[in-house]
Amino acid sequence: MLIWFAVMGGYVSQLRARLQHTNNELKEALGRIELIATMDELTGLMNRRTIHEALHLERRRSERTEQPMCVAMVDADHFKAVNDQFGHASGDEVLKGLADAMRSALRETDSVGRYGGEEFLVVLPMTDLGQALVPLERIRCAAAAVRYAMLPAEARVTVSIGVAQSFPDEDIDETVKRADAAVYEAKRGGRNRIVSAGAVKASLPPAPGGGVSRG
């Protein structure tokens, strides 16, 4: 009987160890699935669905605390030309470089995600339009400073940025549309610049190699 109990005890211990190992593998698999579901595989940023959820979460927080918030769209300049001239692998390298530049330029409280193609959405909580220009200018400068191994040494990929402050009575998706429209103003204005969709029109002197303006 003692031998039988010893054998059964060892068998049960092995079963428990296998079960624990299986549970650990299942947790790891679920973690990978969750990561794939929320992150953009290429850039490591939030994907469109996740950044959209963060946008609506911050809007509800803004309404509850009566704090301002801004939304910015960041678009890579001449990205199609990069793909056409140097190939899609070079384009992927550019997107990764821009993602790294944005991560390094933003605050911990900010959120950034790939919205589609070469366009990124930035959510800036507890930030008014004037304050938003500071981290966005860091993004603009950081993007222009990135060097790419697959592009010529002199190549620079800049970004055009449009930013809008959310109005209290405005649907947040409308705020995104205003920021997106401001991006096109930045493109028309010469690219490598920031345009804010403000209520008051005013022009600011352009920064070296680019600029900031309100429209």
The helix/strand/coil state of 113 is strand
- Asked whether residue 37 is domain-assigned, the answer is no
**pLDDT score recorded for residue 67:** 95
- Asked whether residue 38 is domain-assigned, the answer is no
Strands 111-116 and 119-125 come out as: antiparallel
Active site residues: 118
The helix/strand/coil state of 41 is coil
Q: Is 176 exposed, middle or buried (0-12, 13-18, 19+ CB in 10 A)?
A: buried
**pLDDT score recorded for residue 7:** 62
* Cross-strand partners of 35: none
- Asked whether residue 3 is domain-assigned, the answer is no
Give the CATH number, domain containing residue 180. Answer: 3.30.70.270
- Asked whether residue 74 is domain-assigned, the answer is yes
CB atoms within 10 A of CB 141: 18
- Asked whether residue 76 is domain-assigned, the answer is yes
- Asked whether residue 172 is domain-assigned, the answer is yes
Give the structural domain span for 103: 48-214
72 Cβ partners below 8 Å, 6+ apart? 121, 122, 124, 132, 136, 161, 162, 163, 164, 179
52 Cβ partners below 8 Å, 6+ apart? 113, 121
Q: Is 143 exposed, middle or buried (0-12, 13-18, 19+ CB in 10 A)?
A: buried
CB atoms within 10 A of CB 153: 7
Q: Supply the pTM of this predicted model.
A: 0.78
**pLDDT score recorded for residue 3:** 64
- Asked whether residue 35 is domain-assigned, the answer is no
When divided into structural domains, the chain yields a total of 1
The helix/strand/coil state of 70 is strand
pLDDT tens, per residue, the chain with 215 residues: 666 656 666 766 777 777 776 766 566 655 555 555 679 999 999 999 999 999 999 999 999 999 999 999 999 999 999 999 999 999 999 999 999 999 999 999 999 999 999 999 999 999 999 999 999 999 999 999 999 999 999 999 999 999 999 998 899 999 999 999 999 999 999 999 999 996 333 333 344 455 444 34
- Asked whether residue 6 is domain-assigned, the answer is no
Rounded-to-10 torsion of CA 85, 91, 93, 97: 110
